[in-house]
Amino acid sequence: MKKMKKMKKINKTLTGMVLLVIVFSLNSCLKNGKYYTDFAAVGPSVDLPLSAADNLGLETYAFSSTETSASIPFYINLASPKPLGTAVTATLALDTAFFNSFNAANGGIYSILPDSVYTVINGWNRTIPAGQRLDSMYVKIDFTKMDLTQAYILPVTIQSASVPIEQWNHLLVNPSVKNQYDGTYNMVGSALRSGDPVKTGEFAPITMDLQTSGPSSVTFATLQPWADGTGIGIGNPVLTVNSDNSVTITSSGGASNAPGYNSHYNPDTQTFYISFTWGGGPTSRLATDTLTHQ
């Protein structure tokens, strides 16, 4: 479904280009108008159309963890009042400088996609044939080689071209692999901290994002809350769904399944029922949650 939306977005962008050509063709009808502009005098240039569509932001392609690979297109567009009678050549390249700037502005949470994970199928050197406006480079990504706990970006720019290069020249593609448990959940529950009535008891219902951390595991986007809403400092819990839909809970701070509680996932209602302990054990430190997919 997400790939279908992505293709719709690409088609919408390309349709916009066609409409722009129509506007140019109607130019003569407006020649005597107050706001007439002679676009025929505009020289040709090249850009990355999805860069313009995303306003130099992140272009995310989300895939199911059941897929082992996928090919992603990087389109290059000829912007001109009409197609040219000669071919236009361009060379694409990694855009590390723009990536570093974007990553710094977004908390440094991204890494460049390792070259061991992807293959450029048809080469970095592209040619827009005479009489046409588009060409594309295809990149095949091997998800089996990706670390699903990392957020990757493949940054691409037009390094050189036979015509001028526009400002829409920085495309940041984020290939994201999500398993069936990834998503936003309504979360209710309680926490126990022995001897502390402020932090012990039910917490107010919250929204919790569960993020893919493996083929069948997800991680809390934030810490488990105490009753007063503050976070429990044991690291974000990781939920691993086993083949029988039982759930194993872990965290960097030592979380483990509470004894005697059936922590499990109900696929019919897309709901997690979990209880886990840490530190002094279930009579001293305990959290019990119900997370229902929105």
pLDDT at 280 over 80: yes
Better-scored residue on pLDDT, 151 or 118: 118
Whether the pLDDT of residue 34 is over 60: the answer is no
Whether 8 shows a pLDDT value over 90: the answer reads no
Least confident of 53-57, 138-142, 240-244: 53-57
Domain with CATH 2.40.128 in the chain: 183-293
Residues in the chain: 294
* Lowest mean pLDDT segment, chosen from 35-44, 89-98, 121-130, 275-284: 35-44
Q: Which amino acid is at 165?
A: I
Is pLDDT at 20 greater than 90 in this prediction? no
Mean pLDDT in the chain? 88
How confident is the model at residue 28, as a pLDDT? 46
- Fold type of domain 43-177: Immunoglobulin-like (2.60.40)
> CA 199, 204, 206 angle in degrees (round to 5)?
120
- Do residues 88 and 127 lie in contact, with contact meaning Cβ atoms separated by under 8 Å? yes
Quote the pLDDT of residue 11.
54
CATH 2.60.40.1740-classified regions of the chain? 43-177
The correct answer on CATH 2.40.128 for the domain covering 183-293 is yes
Q: What is the pLDDT of residues 194-214, one digit of tens each?
A: 999 999 999 999 999 998 888
Cα–Cα dist 271/206, whole Å: 15
76-80 mean pLDDT: 95
HEC per residue, the chain = CHHHHHHHHHHHHHHHHHHHHHHHHCHHHHCCCCCCCCHHHCCCEEECHHHHHCCCCEEEEEEECCCCEEEEEEEEEEECCCCCCCCEEEEEEECHHHHHHHHHHCCCCEEECCCCCEEECCCCEEEECCCCCEEEEEEEEEHHHCCCCCEEEEEEEEEEECCCECCCCEEEEEEEEECCCCEEEEEEEEEEECCCCCCCEEEEEEEEEEEEEECCEEEECCCCECCCCCECCCCCCEEEECCCCEEEEECCCCCEECCCCCCEEECCCCEEEEEEECCCCCCCEEEEEEEEEC
Give the model's pLDDT for residue 65: 77
Q: Give the pLDDT of residue 185.
A: 98
Is residue 229 pLDDT above 70, yes or no? Answer: yes
Query: What confidence score (pLDDT) does residue 122 get?
Result: 96
Per-residue pLDDT tens for 165-181? 999 999 999 998 888 99
State the pLDDT at residue 55: 87
pLDDT in the model for residue 67: 86
Q: What is the mean pLDDT of residues 50-77?
A: 89
Over residues 116-143, mean pLDDT = 97
pLDDT mean over 261-278: 98
pTM: 0.64
User: How much is the pLDDT for 21?
Assistant: 44
Per-residue confidence band for 218, with pLDDT thresholds at 50, 70 and 90: very high
Query: pLDDT class for 4, splitting at 50, 70, 90?
Result: very low
